[in-house]
């Protein structure tokens, strides 16, 4: 007699393909993904198709032009093309964000992984260290580290990475601890699976989910942080274009020339929003039970 | 675990935290390039001047000695003097603290008092118009940079329309717009959190039991769902506070409020380490105390949890 | 004055999920007399819980739907009753005990408060002292010290929590109690305790009862009548003695009996029923048991048999068409 799969034939899609399938059905998440990719590509490649000089060349005659055919976003108080500055700024804001999250993720995986895997003394020491960093608001810690290290974009990157990785470490550790005790790990051990196989085939694929969601959302927060630090004049310093520094430069002029404030701000908001969409979409795709 | 014992234990735990952070910053300072003394004196200082300044700042001693001297001072409540303009760190901090505290508390109050009810209503009327609007609002305000929101609000409400003072602190009317600005991001996240938590609780079996007993929907929400749903929200209050402290930096900057966060920003820009350290340490202690209070509050409202768990 | 407390006629209930429509209850007729104890038997997915939830209109809000049919509780039209009428009935005239005692109680309210709530909802006119007295009284009946009423659910064991659920369900002295697998989540020894308790309470309050279970032994020791459900239909019903005589049974019921180990015979292996229950999103045209039935005829695949009855015992199978006594 035929056995029927009551749920219908889902086919032999792998777990990640299932996640991608569910993600694709989420229109908001897909929109976010596409937008952020466009922004990323546009800004990272900006040095290829926008002449560097347009970013810095001052041209007092053309100052304070509203968006027009020649200057798509208009010009600022020094006559510099805002479009070029926003695009170049995006390169720094977005790629700096990526670098910070990448470094923090790597550190977090190593520290959290070691803590979760080895347990005992190692766990306690590593987690106490993380607690120390987590005791202070992230932005403040980054600022303190910058004050000790000195000004500059690279130093800011280091500072932000250090203030971000403890959060990741906690999540990675929590993931590992939950998974270690799952029944299917016990089942795998009973079947005689080796430790490394357990790690790579069971723990990592299942544990990566929450970490990736967290990384995506942290990217949004990091971009906001970089912009805030730029605005304050810590980290990226004018005249280097970065969405935050552009806003700080034009602070007194926005009153009369709103586009100078609206446009960079919009770019920040849209980037972060898209990342939030993607992060939420990933979270829903990984655990569909939370939806209905 | 008895209350008193638990509190002392938690307060004692703050000590390694403070030592850890301060040690870390000192360590970075020691390996970082650039000479703080030279920076402060400026470009035309002579080598002799710089050396004299270094001695004055205590920078000629080995880093460990510097650290021990500093911590010894901290124990006595002496956080040193600003490298930049010589004022006493602790004294200046205490002068400015009321502004920042007022700002932070107002922002927390706004985000809780507005955010939580919005989240509850959104959950109860799930998929309705209100729910979608709330989610859209939450999404927007989670993505807008605080400083940008503050800047725009300042320009349009204060400068152009003249409704509120643009800068300065000290009174309620001065702080209302900054508080709203500061609370915006937290409010958005509070609404989402509350909504999610309420929805989770609504799916629980004991809600179905309550319905089977004949409870009205309103009674179910108020008596059964609300109290259970707010538990995770209470837990997040500590983190909320930390985030608001973080956000107060840009808010105080935009609105030129003479608070401790502004003090920190100015100090960071010129690498005025004693000020930075002082503010950092006190804030870490503050956040620790707030977390402790939140944890105690939680054990009071959830009968399943005892102190120390 | 009608002896019937519950009359269900031709009830169809479905769940409208994103992926498909799940036809959970397909044309159920059921009646219950005052004080009668009916056992509702069937495997997981047969529709028993859905049927129970429909009687109290506790189906999941947007997803569950009573498509057609009647449910009359003591003359009241349940299907068309509004929210207020249902609120008055639930807990006071009809109450329900759910399967998992670990999650049925609100963790942050005391046990006493939760039992008190039932009285508060339905008998606001009696005094606070009287309500408290009733709470104490029922706690004693279920074997829990009244002094424990200020404790929280997590301080009680699974069996005690189930007894507290029973207390909540019976304190308002309902005319109908629906118990959805009340002992499935409990140890065997606790099961016996809980069942005895329910028996005693039923005697005291003379409530009618629908006991949903997949355990035939429980039905045998506890119920007067039994109804067997399969794929959303009642395929056999009658007095317990008749059905359990094992003389005339629906092939599915026979299969159920055969798959229970029997201490009196010498068998090498248990005899399970081949195959799986039909997919409720894709119901077949003919008899829903057709593809698992050892006696399946051509007719069975084409048409769904009616419920043949001899007045006492009813079986939904073409093999029993001769049962009808006219």
Nearest CA in chain C to B219: C121
pLDDT at A292: 41
Dump the DSSP string for chain B.
--HHHHHHHHHHHHHHHHHHHHHHHHHHHHHSSS-HHHHHH-TT--HHHHHHHHHHHTTTS-HHHHHHHHHHHHHTT---B-TTT--BHHHHHHHHHHHHHHHHHHHHHHHHHHHHHHHHHHHHTTTSHHHHHHHHHHHHHHHS-HHHHHHHHIIIIIIIS--S-SS--SSHHHHHHHHHHHHHHHHHHHHHHHHHHHHHHHTSHHHHHHHHTT--HHHIIIIIIHHHHHHHHHHTHHHHHHHHHHHHHHHHHHTT--SHHHHHHHHHHTT-HHHHHHHHHHHHHHHHHHHHHHHHHHHHH-TT--TT-
Beta bridge partners of residue C208, listed in sequence order: C176
Average pLDDT of chain B, as a whole number: 87
Q: How far apart, in whole angstroms, are the C-alpha atoms of residue A158 and residue B24?
A: 14
Of the candidates A136, A139, A255, the beta carbon closest to that of B284 is on: A136
Can you tell me the mean pLDDT for A186-209? Answer: 70
Query: By the 8 A CB rule, do B236 and B193 touch?
Result: yes
Q: Do C279 and A4 touch (CB under 8 A)?
A: yes
Residues belonging to chain A with any Cβ–Cβ distance to chain C shorter than 8 Å:
1, 3-4, 6, 8, 292
Question: How does strand C233-239 pair with strand C314-315?
Answer: antiparallel
Of the candidates B144, B269, B287, the beta carbon closest to that of A136 is on: B287
Q: How far apart, in whole angstroms, are the C-alpha atoms of residue B36 and residue B224?
A: 59
Q: CA of C102, closest CA in chain B: separation in Å? A: 9
Percent of chain B's residues with pLDDT above 70? 99
Q: How far apart, in whole angstroms, are the C-alpha atoms of residue A103 and residue C86?
A: 59
Task: Please name the residues in contact with B117: beta carbons below 8 A apart, sequence gap of 6 or more.
Answer: none
**Which has more confidence, B243 or C261?**
B243
Average pLDDT of chain A, as a whole number: 83
Beta bridge partners of residue C37, listed in sequence order: C209
Scan residues 187-216 of C and list those with Cβ closer than 8 Å to B: none
Nearest CA in chain C to B227: C108
How confident is residue B309, by pLDDT bands cut at 50, 70 and 90? Answer: low
Q: CA of B197, closest CA in chain A: separation in Å? A: 11
**Which has more confidence, C8 or B170?**
C8
Can you tell me the mean pLDDT for A131-154? Answer: 88
Q: Do C274 and A1 touch (CB under 8 A)?
A: yes
Whether residue C286 is predicted with pLDDT greater than 70 in this model: the reply is yes
Can you tell me the mean pLDDT for A241-252? Answer: 88
pLDDT at A291: 47
Of the candidates B212, B224, B301, the beta carbon closest to that of C90 is on: B212
Coil, strand or helix at A68 = coil
For chain B, say whether C98 makes contact (Cβ under 8 Å): yes
Can you tell me the mean pLDDT for B271-287? Answer: 89
pLDDT at C148: 92
pLDDT at A11: 42
Whether residue B48 is predicted with pLDDT greater than 50 in this model: the reply is yes
Nearest CA in chain A to C282: A6
How many helices and strands (H and E) does chain A possess?
13, 0
Q: CA of B15, closest CA in chain A: separation in Å? A: 10
Percent of chain B's residues with pLDDT above 90? 34
Q: CA of C276, closest CA in chain A: separation in Å? A: 7
- Please give the ipTM for the structure prediction: 0.88
For chain B, say whether A231 makes contact (Cβ under 8 Å): yes
Give the rounded distance of the alpha carbon of B53 from its chain centre: 35
pLDDT at A8: 35
Q: CA of C138, closest CA in chain B: separation in Å? A: 16
Of the candidates C274, C275, C279, the beta carbon closest to that of A6 is on: C279
Can you tell me the mean pLDDT for A75-92? Answer: 86
Task: Please name the residues in contact with B269: beta carbons below 8 A apart, sequence gap of 6 or more.
Answer: A232, A233, A234
Can you tell me the mean pLDDT for A159-171? Answer: 92
Chain B CB contacts of A147 under 8 Å are 267-268, 271-273, 276
Query: By the 8 A CB rule, do A32 and A273 touch?
Result: yes
**Integer angstrom CA distances of residue B128 from B82, C16, C88, C264:** 56, 19, 28, 62
Query: By the 8 A CB rule, do C216 and C240 touch?
Result: no
For chain B, say whether A109 makes contact (Cβ under 8 Å): no
Closest of C14, C3, C5, C1 to residue C69, by C-alpha: C14
- C164-205: per-residue pLDDT in tens? 999 999 898 899 999 999 888 788 788 888 888 888 888 888
Scan residues 28-47 of B and list those with Cβ closer than 8 Å to A: 28-29, 32-34
pLDDT at A202: 67
Q: Do A8 and C274 touch (CB under 8 A)?
A: no
Q: How far apart, in whole angstroms, are the C-alpha atoms of residue A238 and residue A255?
A: 20
Q: Do B146 and A228 touch (CB under 8 A)?
A: yes
Q: Do B209 and C165 touch (CB under 8 A)?
A: yes
Taking the CB of residue C252, how many other CB atoms lie within 10 A of it?
26
Q: Do B209 and C88 touch (CB under 8 A)?
A: no
Query: By the 8 A CB rule, do B263 and B93 touch?
Result: yes
Of the candidates B212, B214, B301, the beta carbon closest to that of C88 is on: B214
Chain C CB contacts of B228 under 8 Å are 106-108
Whether residue C115 is predicted with pLDDT greater than 90 in this model: the reply is yes
Can you tell me the mean pLDDT for A81-110? Answer: 91
Q: Do B143 and A233 touch (CB under 8 A)?
A: no
pLDDT at A227: 93
Q: Do B213 and C106 touch (CB under 8 A)?
A: no
Chain B CB contacts of C121 under 8 Å are 213-215, 219
Q: Do B25 and A139 touch (CB under 8 A)?
A: no
**Which has more confidence, C266 or C206?**
C206
Chains contacting C (3 or more CB pairs within 8 Å): A, B
pLDDT at C200: 85
Nearest CA in chain A to B275: A144
Q: CA of A7, closest CA in chain C: separation in Å? A: 8
Scan residues 183-212 of B and list those with Cβ closer than 8 Å to C: 204-206, 208-212
pLDDT at A288: 62
Chain B CB contacts of C122 under 8 Å are 214
Coil, strand or helix at A219 = helix
Query: What order do you get walking across the sheet with C4-16 strand by strand?
Result: C21-33, C4-16, C64-73, C76-77
Whether residue A2 is predicted with pLDDT greater than 60 in this model: the reply is no
- B68-105: per-residue pLDDT in tens? 888 888 888 888 888 878 888 899 999 999 999 999 99
Using the structure block, give the residue that is written with the tokens 């979608």: B132
Chain B CB contacts of C117 under 8 Å are 210, 213, 215, 223
For chain B, say whether C107 makes contact (Cβ under 8 Å): yes
Of the candidates C89, C103, C122, the beta carbon closest to that of B206 is on: C103
Q: How far apart, in whole angstroms, are the C-alpha atoms of residue A39 and residue A95?
A: 11
Q: What stretches of chain A adopt beta strand conformation (E)? A: none
pLDDT at A289: 60
Q: What is the pTM of this model?
A: 0.84
Chain A CB contacts of C18 under 8 Å are 292
């Amino acid at each position: 007699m035929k056995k029927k799969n009551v749920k219908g034939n889902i086919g032999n899609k792998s777990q990640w393909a299932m996640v991608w399938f569910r993600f694709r059905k989420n229109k908001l998440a897909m929109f976010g993904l596409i937008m952020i990719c466009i922004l990323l590509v546009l800004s990272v490649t900006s040095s290829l198709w926008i002449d560097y000089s347009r970013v810095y060349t001052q041209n007092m005659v053309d100052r304070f032009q509203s968006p027009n055919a020649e200057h798509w976003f208009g010009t600022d108080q020094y006559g510099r093309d805002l479009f070029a500055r926003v695009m170049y700024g995006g390169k720094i804001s977005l790629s700096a964000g990526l670098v910070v999250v990448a470094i923090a993720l790597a550190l977090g995986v190593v520290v959290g992984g070691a803590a979760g895997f080895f347990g005992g003394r190692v766990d306690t020491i590593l987690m106490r260290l993380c607690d120390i960093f987590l005791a202070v608001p992230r932005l403040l810690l980054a600022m303190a580290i910058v004050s000790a290290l000195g000004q500059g974009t690279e130093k800011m990157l280091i500072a932000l990475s250090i203030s971000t990785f403890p959060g990741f470490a906690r999540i990675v550790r929590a993931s590992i601890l939950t998974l270690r005790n799952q029944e299917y790990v016990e089942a795998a051990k009973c079947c005689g699976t080796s430790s490394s196989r357990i790690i790579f085939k069971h723990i990592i694929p299942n544990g990566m989910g929450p970490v990736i969601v967290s990384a995506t959302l942290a990217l949004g927060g990091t971009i906001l942080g970089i912009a805030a630090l730029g605005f304050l004049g810590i980290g990226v310093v004018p005249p280097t274009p970065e969405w935050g520094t552009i806003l700080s430069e034009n602070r007194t002029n926005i009153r009369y020339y709103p586009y100078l404030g609206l446009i960079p701000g919009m770019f920040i908001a849209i980037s972060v929003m898209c990342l939030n969409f993607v992060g939420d979409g990933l979270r829903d795709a990984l655990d569909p039970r939370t939806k209905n | 675990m008895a209350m008193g014992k638990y509190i002392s234990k938690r307060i004692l735990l703050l000590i390694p935290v403070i030592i850890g952070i301060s040690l870390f910053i000192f360590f970075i300072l020691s390996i970082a390039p650039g000479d703080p003394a030279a920076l402060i004196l400026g470009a035309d200082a002579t080598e002799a001047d710089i050396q004299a300044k270094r001695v004055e700042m205590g920078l000629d001693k080995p880093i460990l000695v510097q650290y021990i001297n500093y911590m010894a001072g901290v124990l006595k409540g002496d956080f040193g003097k600003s490298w930049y303009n010589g004022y006493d760190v602790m004294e200046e901090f205490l002068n400015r603290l009321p502004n920042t505290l007022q700002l932070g508390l107002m922002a927390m109050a706004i985000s809780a008092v507005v955010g939580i009810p919005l989240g509850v209503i959104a959950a109860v009327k799930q998929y309705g118009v209100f729910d979608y609007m709330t989610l859209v609002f939450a999404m927007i305000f989670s993505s807008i940079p605080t400083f940008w929101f503050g800047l725009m609000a300042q320009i349009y409400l204060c400068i152009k329309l003249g409704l509120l003072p643009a800068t300065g602190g000290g009174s309620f009317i001065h702080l209302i717009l900054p508080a709203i600005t500061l609370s915006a991001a937290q409010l958005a996240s509070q609404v989402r959190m509350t909504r999610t938590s309420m929805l989770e609780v609504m799916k629980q079996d004991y809600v179905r039991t309550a319905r089977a007993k004949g409870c009205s929907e309103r009674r179910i929400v108020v008596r059964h769902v609300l109290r259970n749903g707010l538990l995770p929200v209470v837990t997040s209050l500590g983190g909320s506070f930390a985030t608001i402290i973080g956000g107060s930096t840009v808010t105080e900057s935009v609105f030129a409020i003479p608070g401790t966060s502004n003090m920190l920003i100015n100090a960071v820009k010129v690498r005025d380490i004693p000020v930075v350290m002082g503010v950092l340490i006190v804030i870490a202690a503050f956040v620790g105390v707030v977390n402790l209070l939140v944890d105690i509050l939680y054990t009071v409202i959830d009968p399943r949890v005892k102190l120390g768990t | 004055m009608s002896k019937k407390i519950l009359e269900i006629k031709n009830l169809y209930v479905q769940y409208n999920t994103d992926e498909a429509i799940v036809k959970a209850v397909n044309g159920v007729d059921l009646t219950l007399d005052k004080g009668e104890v009916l056992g509702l038997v069937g495997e997981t997915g047969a529709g028993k819980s859905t049927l129970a939830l429909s009687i109290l209109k506790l189906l999941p809000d947007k997803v569950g739907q009573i498509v057609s049919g009647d449910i009359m509780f003591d003359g009241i039209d349940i299907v068309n009753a509004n929210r207020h009428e249902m609120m008055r009935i639930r807990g006071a005239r009809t109450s329900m005990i759910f399967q998992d005692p670990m999650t049925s109680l609100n963790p942050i309210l005391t046990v006493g408060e939760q039992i008190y709530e039932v009285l508060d909802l339905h008998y606001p006119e009696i005094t606070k002292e009287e309500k408290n007295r009733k709470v104490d009284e029922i706690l004693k009946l279920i074997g829990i010290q009244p002094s424990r009423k200020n404790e929280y659910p997590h301080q009680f064991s699974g069996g005690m929590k189930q007894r507290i659920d029973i207390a909540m369900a019976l304190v308002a002295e309902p005319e109908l109690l629906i118990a959805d697998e009340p002992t499935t989540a409990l140890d065997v020894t606790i099961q016996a305790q809980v069942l005895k308790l329910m028996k005693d309470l039923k005697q005291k309050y003379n409530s009618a009862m629908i006991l949903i279970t997949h355990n035939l032994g429980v039905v045998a020791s506890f119920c007067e009548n039994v109804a067997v459900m399969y794929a959303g239909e009642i395929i056999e019903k009658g007095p317990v003695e008749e059905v359990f005589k094992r003389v005339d049974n629906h092939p599915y019921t026979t299969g159920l009996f055969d798959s229970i180990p029997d201490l009196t015979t010498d068998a090498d292996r248990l005899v399970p029923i081949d195959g799986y229950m039909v997919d409720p999103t894709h119901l077949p045209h003919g008899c829903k048991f057709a593809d698992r039935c050892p006696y399946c005829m051509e007719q069975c695949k084409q048409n769904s048999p009616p419920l043949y009855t001899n007045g006492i015992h009813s079986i939904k199978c073409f093999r029993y068409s001769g049962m009808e006594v006219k």
